[in-house]
A and B are shown apart, each in its own frame.
Chain A
Amino acid sequence: MTTSIVRAAVFSAAIAAFAAPAPGQTLLNVSYDPTRELYQDLNAAFVKYWKGKTGQAVTIRQSHGGSGAQARAVIDGLEADVVTLALAYDIDAIAQSGLTSTAWQKRFPQNSAPYTSTIVFLVRKGNPKGIKDWGDLSNPGLQIITPNPKTSGGARWNYLAAWGYALRQFGGDDKARQFVADLYKKVPVLDSGARASTMTFLRRQIGDVLIAWENEAHLALEESPNQLEIVVPSISILAEPPVAIVDKVVDRKGTRAIAEAYLQYLYSTEGQEIAAKHHYRPRDQAIAAKFAASFAKVKLFTVDEAFGGWQTAQKTHFADGAMFDRLYRLVAR
């Protein structure tokens, strides 16, 4: 099956190379929730860049929602030329449905993740509970806010960050399980998505710490600078929101060349700068150096290093009856 897809891809790439693309192309970028503003800026910049380079007008439409729900929409027929989601697991699902190559992650540099983020803490102004690092989350009497990893892709990064820290700090799965179980025992509300958790913490003033993506934390801070502080732990996970081309769609629409250029553009100097302005960590070293002041230094580990990739992480931690469910049986007791 894979070979037939590859053959189809090669074949249609050949056609695309010969056939002049029709004027006025439209691309659909299916993305997850918090990237709305990022892609508004990126799209405007790319449209200008593409016009200057080829003289061709391109319209880029965006669709946002929960990462998993977006992936399902694409599998069920939403005509996405490119997907830019929160985790590789969701693009893997698209690939498994046959819409794109299962080797999608090798097609673009850096695991097909043009920008990264990490998991940090948001605390109340003045940090009244004195939270400095993951270890402080075990302090008694603390309330922690994080969404449900079973329904939220973003929350899975939070969980894995905590687990990865404990693994390094205490060594061994038993200790890590204890730490993460203790952490979730302090969670009074498991919201279904990251934005809902932010609202619980910010608007309803529930909890002492919000575990959040760095870019989301910065957005929240910009909104209410007098109420919040960001605390960056000593070590955290490298969140790599990946991008991919949906082969079946671009081949049918004849948009492969432009879709590829679009995703490549995310790695360009302009693309990286826009990402950095929206609080995503750029991959480009030069741009990273330029924005060094806005990103705290933190030791980062990847899902591949600590958990052997997303498929394994999903199976051991988030599948039904896997680690998270078992932890909750401990928590409920």
Chain B
Amino acid sequence: MSLQVRRRVLPGFGLTMGITLLYLSLIVLIPLATLPARSFTMSWQAFRDTVTDPRVVASYRLSLGASLAAAAVNAVFGGVVAWVLARYAFPGRRVVDALIDLPFALPTAVAGIVLTTLYAPGGWLGKPLAQYGVTVAFTPLGVTVALIFIGLPFVVRTLQPVIEDLDPEVEEAATSLGASRTGVLLRVILPNLLPAWLTGFALAFARALGEYGSVVFISGNMPMRTEISPLLIVTKLEQYDYAGATAIAIVMLALSFCLLLCINGLQTWARRRVAP
């Protein structure tokens, strides 16, 4: 038995790996590689000045902060939505299920315009909120709201199938063995969901970092306060400063790559805890 070659379902490791590498190179690596190539036209000094300009630094802070906040909010509420959709049958469930995908399909500029109109000081939601002293449109909060909107499907769609696969009988067994409700939640359900949850969080976060279309409408684009990094990239392009634009892009790329790497590490750790 030990001599027998392990058979794989798909034949030809060489072939599939070759296709994988070619595909990844064409779609991801080559376009990304042109980024540093373009910014290499500037000196190290110029590169550093560009990416450490106070205005640019303020934009990293907003982009990263708002993206993390939006992904966190989505992780919590998207988790609840996924749970409800997977576990309960109620009238209109299919409609709600279909609604989740809308932020995927809607052109982001449309989403931005709609959200801005709703949350502007005179809008349906903006007006009542203003009475409590909360302004959403044209503040970092507005940026976060737009990012929550576009990030929601990522959390729901990664969690939902995992919850559906969770066998309720396991929870019943835990209960019959004397576990409390919180015990079941914390020691049975959460560990099983954690890897998918982190994936959803990471996807929502990554999507939010690069988002441009919906945010520029609701952010108000005030220098130092509500400019996201992608807007500054566009600002540079508008001056035909391709090198400066790619410099900011590289920093964004590096930051998000590090963060995604951390999240992946957490995920591996979580998965190892579930399946020894």
Query: Which A residues contact B (CB, under 8 angstroms)?
Result: 68-69, 71-72, 93, 148, 150-151, 153, 188-192, 196, 199-200, 203-206, 314, 318-321, 325, 328, 331-332
Contacts and interface: CB of A to CB of B under 8 A. Distances in A.
Contacts, number: 71
B121 A192 contact: no
Interface of B: 50, 53, 55, 113, 116-117, 120-123, 138, 216-217, 220-225, 231, 234-241, 244
A149 B184 CA distance: 57
Q: Shortest 10 CB-CB distances between A and B: which pairs?
A: A204-B120, A189-B220, A68-B238, A328-B223, A190-B221, A150-B235, A192-B216, A93-B240, A205-B122, A332-B224
Contact of B238 (A150, A196, A205, A206): A150
Contacts of A153: 238
A319 B239 contact: yes
Contact of B221 (A93, A189, A325): A189
Nearest to A97: B240
B231 A151 contact: yes
Contacts of B244: 320
B223 A191 contact: no
Contacts of A190: 220-223
A191 B221 contact: yes
Given A68-B238, A320-B239, A328 B120 contact: no
B234 A188 contact: no
Contacts of B113: 199
B228 to A, nearest CB: 11
B138 A188 contact: yes
Contacts of B55: 325
Of A188, A199, A203, A320, chain B has the most CB atoms within 10 Å of the CB of A320
Contacts of B237: 68-69, 72
A318 to B, nearest CB: 7
A300 B101 CA distance: 53
Contacts of A151: 221, 231, 234-235, 238
